[in-house]
């Protein structure tokens, strides 16, 4: 006689599996949100939270799917204990055969949970600088400003500089003729500052650091602009545009030197 349990029990187990996954996913969402209450969150931490939530949900999904599958096999009289034992032996064989893959997986998880970087961050990895366009459990893809893309195994990442974790300091050295009084130069820079502070990625007023050096018939005036790493080159171009307009307004000639731009954390 046909056993109807073969039909309704698998359906019940699948429904229970979906319910467990739904409840655990909600718990993960709530737990991470509670953890950040009362803290000022920036884009880095929001991106990191999103990455971790997706990772945990995927792990939960696969665990629930495996347990549900084994429960269904048990309904049909298949001994799951022997399957589990076989999986253990098979897992040991696979572990030996795919050591590098496992290293990449563990490294990928460590990168996410140790707060190294997330997708969208500007980083320097093993000397290569660019934006993280993809962060997987196996590899990381970084796109440089010239369009080159570096794909690196997570286990091969030896050094990381994350330029997006905090704001960057953009240092600009301005060659100025000795004929231009320092007071006039600072007045011009304050005028430029009024326009720069309206840019979304400029975090505060320009810092007028003063005269850095005196070379021949010119002096070097140094300033600092606090901005996000990904906007650094855009901010520099905007600053130069406003500065050129102020130079023209005040009949100031630019020395025949290129402006030298440096950035640091």
Task: Compute how many other C-beta atoms are within 10 angstroms of the C-beta atom of residue 56.
Answer: 18
The answer to whether residues 172 and 150 belong to one domain is: no
pLDDT at 39: 42
The answer to whether residues 182 and 258 belong to one domain is: yes
The answer to whether residues 145 and 228 belong to one domain is: no
- Has residue 82 got a pLDDT over 60? yes
Across 140-168, average pLDDT: 87
Nearest to 192 by CA among 235, 229, 234: 235
- Has residue 264 got a pLDDT over 50? no
- Has residue 222 got a pLDDT over 80? yes
- 31 in a structural domain: yes
- Has residue 257 got a pLDDT over 70? no
- 129 in a structural domain: yes
pTM: 0.55
Last residue of a domain, one of 67, 97, 127: 97
Tokens 């007071």 belong to: 183
Instruction: Tell me the pLDDT band of 62, cut-offs 50, 70 and 90.
Output: confident
pLDDT at 71: 84
- 110 in a structural domain: no
Task: Compute how many other C-beta atoms are within 10 angstroms of the C-beta atom of residue 202.
Answer: 22
């Amino acid at each position: 006689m046909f056993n109807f349990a073969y039909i309704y029990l698998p359906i019940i187990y699948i429904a229970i599996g979906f319910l467990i996954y739904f409840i655990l996913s909600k718990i993960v969402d709530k737990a991470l949100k509670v953890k950040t209450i009362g803290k000022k969150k920036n884009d880095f931490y929001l991106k990191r939270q999103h990455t971790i939530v997706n990772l945990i949900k995927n792990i939960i999904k696969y665990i629930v799917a495996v347990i549900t599958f084994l429960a269904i096999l048990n309904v049909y009289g298949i001994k799951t204990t022997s399957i589990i034992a076989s999986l253990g032996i098979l897992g040991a064989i696979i572990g030996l055969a795919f050591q590098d893959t496992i290293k990449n997986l563990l490294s990928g998880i460590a990168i996410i949970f140790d707060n190294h970087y997330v997708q969208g961050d500007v980083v320097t990895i093993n000397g290569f600088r660019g934006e993280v366009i993809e962060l997987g459990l196996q590899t990381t893809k970084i796109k440089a400003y010239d369009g080159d893309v570096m794909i690196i195994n997570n286990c091969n990442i030896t050094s990381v500089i994350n330029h997006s974790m905090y704001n960057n300091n953009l240092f600009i050295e301005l060659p100025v003729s000795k004929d231009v009084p320092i007071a006039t130069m600072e007045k011009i820079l304050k005028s430029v500052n009024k326009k720069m502070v309206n840019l979304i990625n400029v975090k505060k007023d320009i810092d007028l650091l003063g005269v850095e050096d005196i070379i021949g018939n010119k002096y070097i005036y140094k300033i600092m602009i606090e901005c996000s790493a990904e906007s650094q080159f855009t901010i520099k171009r905007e600053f130069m545009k406003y500065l050129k307009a102020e130079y023209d307004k005040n009949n100031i000639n630019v020395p025949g030197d290129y402006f030298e731009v440096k950035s640091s954390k």
